[in-house]
Structure 1
Amino acid sequence: MNAYRGRFAPTPSGPLHFGSLVAALASFLDARHARGHWALRIEDIDPPRCPPGAADTILRQLEAFGLHWDGRVRYQQDRGQAYAEALKRLEARGLAYPCSCSRKQWREHPVYPGWCRDGLEEPGKPVAWRLRSDLGPRPIRWQDRLFGLQTLDPAALGDVVLKRKDDLWAYQLAVVVDDADQGITEVVRGADLLDNTPWQRQLQHALGLPEPRYLHLPLILGDDGQKLSKQNLAPPLPATEPEARPLLHRALVALDQAPPAELASAPATEQLAWAIAHWDPTRLLAELERPLRDTAV
């Protein structure tokens, strides 16, 4: 294997669906085509959203589609100390601050106005911890592998939460700390996370961490034009290999990889061998001009 290190990092709030499969498959193919490492990280930092057994279901689904990961599965629930150390470093630099405000209080504003930056508005109340988005490099510029040059000002997006009032760690801090700790060099994920990148770049800069490259994928939409998601009751993926075969082929079609029609009933290993050899993310450029739809799910 070479220096390429990618990952798939689902939240176990339920089983994977077709949209999840497309994201996982693109990440897997990108890593395997580069003869790189592909890690699996279960982002279970929000236990109330993660029903028992959901993480194990995800593992079985990935195995059914032949998407086998390298090394041990990482679980974010085990990583609290690392996140706490990162937050302490940010606080020491004046880049993170406690906030007692509720969403109800600032609902008239498009983003959180930073009222607690210079001290708690309501001392004695539970606090979240936020990132000072107005400090550090801005605007943030990066070259997305599909969407091209991106320029976004984190301050226009607001001071993102790093630790919640209920003492649970928030996504932005956890993902940055873990990507660095796992040596991730390439992030392949859905375009719904494109505007998360400026906060993550700010955190990487503030903590002195490497900056991976990003490839954001066009989203899979249902017939109603909405992103396929668990919230929209997207059907779960099967957890057996024979049932997975036609869905795997459809996922390759959705990624515009033009797999041969005769592969639709082939074993997952055979489909993946073809897809790894022929993986071409530049084919996704055509999808930027039309939404990806999957009318069969």
Structure 2
Amino acid sequence: MTKSVQPNEMPPYRGRFAPSPSGPLHFGSLIAAVGSYLQAKSNQGKWLVRIEDIDPPREVPGASDLILKTLTSYGLHWDEPIIYQSQRSDAYEAALNQLDLDQRLYHCICTRKMIQSAGGIYQGSCREKERRDNRNSEDESALRFINSTPTLSFIDQLHGHCQMDKAFASEDFILKRRDGLYAYQLAVVVDDIEQGITEIVRGSDLLEPTVRQLALYAAMKASTPKYVHLPVAATKPNFKLSKQNGAPGLDLSNPIPTLYRAFQFLNLPVNPALLDASTEELLNWGVAHWHIQYLPKQREILFTT
């Protein structure tokens, strides 16, 4: 029987790591995985893994299996079955149907080129046009969210009060693309709600989109999680390690040195003697010594691979 949560009682901690299978995990990915894992385990919580495979053109064959193999090699074991976004279309459609019933969606035929020529922020032209023309062609349009009550700021557990650009935060953003693929903003919110995620620990490159996700939480009348946005590893200013810029995949044969460097990156006071430890011993030590107060309050840290 599931224990009910009393009004003043915090729900059990549930965190997650949600990589996209666009390539192997690299050191920047490991920072998010380790940070979210240590935060969950230090709060006696569950740590889940979700594969965000909703963008087939960007996916690399075999990457999902390699990601899971890498996490296992680094001792990062998940607590519940893996969720694959590619198998969640029914849930996303149900969310879109409800938002449509709530009159929070409209079809948009504007292209990226058109939006860029108008300044880069969508001005809601199809929202107004649809009132005149009833509906744009569903076969040639994206679905946009009517962001009538935008979230302009939020509290991050590491960075404190985060105020975002009003034009960006207020934009009517896409929930389903013209090609029929579901947008990240929709999928991540629907999945985090269904999985009962209580806190999201991820890279600071996702700080800005948080306000859009919070607007969706409000529209779906769902409780919002807490957020911790970790510094990202960058090879030079404003150039984070990523699969797109050729960041090397993690070494699966000898994980301890890289795991040790991840601890150092996260400002954990690691004893060099732990270089001789097993992954389990090193992670257990990390859980025992982890605290957000140790984390660097930076959006990025320059790092040499």
2:107 is the counterpart of 1:98:
yes
1:147 equivalent in structure 2: 159
1:279 equivalent in structure 2: 290
2:203 equivalent in structure 1: 190
User: Gapped runs of 5+ residues in structure 2?
Assistant: 1-10
Q: In 2 relative to 1, CA 224–154 (structure 1 residues): closer, same or farther, beyond 3 Å? A: closer
In the TM superposition, 1:1-297 aligns within 5 A as 3-108=12-117, 109-120=119-130, 123-124=136-137, 126-133=140-147, 135-136=148-149, 138-152=150-164, 155-157=167-169, 158-223=171-236, 226-240=239-253, 243-285=254-296, 287-288=297-298, 291-295=300-304, 297=305
Q: Deviations over 1:126-173 (max 9, x none)?
A: 11111122x02x443321000101233665342211001110101000
User: 143-152 or 22-31, which moves further after superposition?
Assistant: 143-152
Give 3-state SS (helix, strand or coil) of 2:24's partner. coil
Give 3-state SS (helix, strand or coil) of 1:39's partner. strand
Amino acid across the alignment from 1:105: M
- What is the alpha-carbon distance in structure 1 between the residues aligned to residue 141 and residue 62 of structure 2? 31
TM-score (norm 1): 0.92
- What is the alpha-carbon distance in structure 2 between the residues aligned to residue 153 and residue 113 of structure 1? 15
The offset of 1:224, in angstroms, is: 6.4
The offset of 1:104, in angstroms, is: 1.0
Give 3-state SS (helix, strand or coil) of 1:270's partner. helix
Q: Deviations over 1:217-241 (max 9, x none)?
A: 111111465100001100001223x
- 8 Å contact 1:27–1:187 — kept in the other structure? yes
Q: Give identity over the alignment, percent.
A: 45
- 8 Å contact 1:6–1:186 — kept in the other structure? yes
Give 3-state SS (helix, strand or coil) of 2:115's partner. coil
Amino acid across the alignment from 1:186: E
State the number of aligned residues: 290
Amino acid across the alignment from 2:230: L
